[in-house]
Amino acid sequence: MIIVSAFYVVCWLPTSLYKVVFNVVSNALPPTSYYPTIFLAFFYVCVNPFIYAMKFEPIKRILLNLFPARNPSVHS
């Protein structure tokens, strides 16, 4: 769970800081610097399921059972 939390902070902190700085001093940041922060946030959303699938055994087991070739009970 530490990996998920750390990855969340790394990906969402730039967006949050950008919004705070933009609201305090709106002319300090160029509008194009917003896009990399949004990319990091979307990257977190895309990678998060893979982190869960790799690191947490119950989720890994359920996902592996979804594939019939890896499920021995389907072939018997």
pLDDT score, position 25: 87
CA distance 15 to 43: 12
Q: Which domain holds residue 37?
A: 31-76
Give residue 40's pLDDT: 93
Q: Is residue 16 part of a domain?
A: no
Per-residue pLDDT of the chain (76 residues; tens, 9 = 90+): 788 899 999 999 999 999 998 888 877 788 788 899 999 999 999 998 888 888 888 888 888 888 777 555 555 4
Structure tokens at 56: 């947490």
Number of folded domains that form the chain: 1
pTM greater than 0.75 (yes/no): no
Provide the pLDDT for residue 57.
85
Reduced to 3 states, what is the DSSP secondary structure of residue 58?
helix
CA end-to-end distance (rounded Å), the chain: 37
- Is 74 part of any domain? yes
The verdict on residue 66 lying in a domain is: yes
Closest CA to 18 of 7, 8, 29, 10: 29
Give the other-Cβ count within 10 Å of 11's Cβ: 19
